[in-house]
Amino acid sequence: MKRREFITLLGGAAVAWPAAPRAEPAPLPLIGYLSARTAEDSGEVLAEFRRGLAESGFVEGHNVAIEYRWLVGRYDLLPEFIGDLVRRQVSVIVIPSGSTSALAQSSYPDNSHRLQHRKRSGRDRPRRIS
C-alpha cells in the first residue's frame, strides 16, 4: 500500500468514526410525587423532599426525574393520577405525610377516627424507607 493510499484510508476512517452508532444514555430513574395540596402550598415540604434526595445523592434533572401531580383537593382525580404515574413506570410514588391523611379520609370516610388516633399517638410521622 502506498503512502497516499494509507493516509487517505486513515483520513476516511477518522471522518466516519463520529458517525458510528452510539448507545443512548439510560433514562433517569423516575419518582412520582402526588400531593393533595397545591404546588404553592407544598413549598416547604417540597424543599425538604428535595433536600433529602440531595443528601442521598439524587439531584432532580441530573440523576433523577420527578413527575408531579397536584390534586388540589380534587380527590376524585386520585385513581387517574395514580394510574398515570404507574403507566409512566415510576420507580416509586411519594405521597407527603399531610396528604396521606387527607387522601385516606376522602377515600375511606369511616376510617377517619383511626387516622386522628394515629396522629395523636405520633405514628403518622414520616419514615425513611431504605
Each residue's pLDDT, cut to its tens digit, for the chain (130 residues) gives 566 665 555 555 545 555 556 667 778 999 999 998 899 998 999 999 999 999 999 999 999 999 999 999 888 898 999 999 999 999 999 988 766 555 555 554 444 444 444 444 455 555 555 4
Q: What is the pLDDT of residue 115?
A: 45
User: Which contacts of 46-52 are long-range, i.e. CB under 8 A and separated by 24 or more positions?
Assistant: 49/94, 49/96
Q: What is the pLDDT of residue 103?
A: 57
* Residues, the chain: 130
Domain ranges of the chain: 30-121
Report H helices in the chain: 3-16, 43-55, 78-87, 97-107, 112-121
pTM value > 0.75: no
C-alpha distances (whole Å) from 53 to each of 21, 31, 43, 57, 94 are 34, 11, 15, 6, 12
CATH topology for 30-121 is Rossmann fold (3.40.50)
Q: How far apart are the first and last CA of the chain?
A: 63
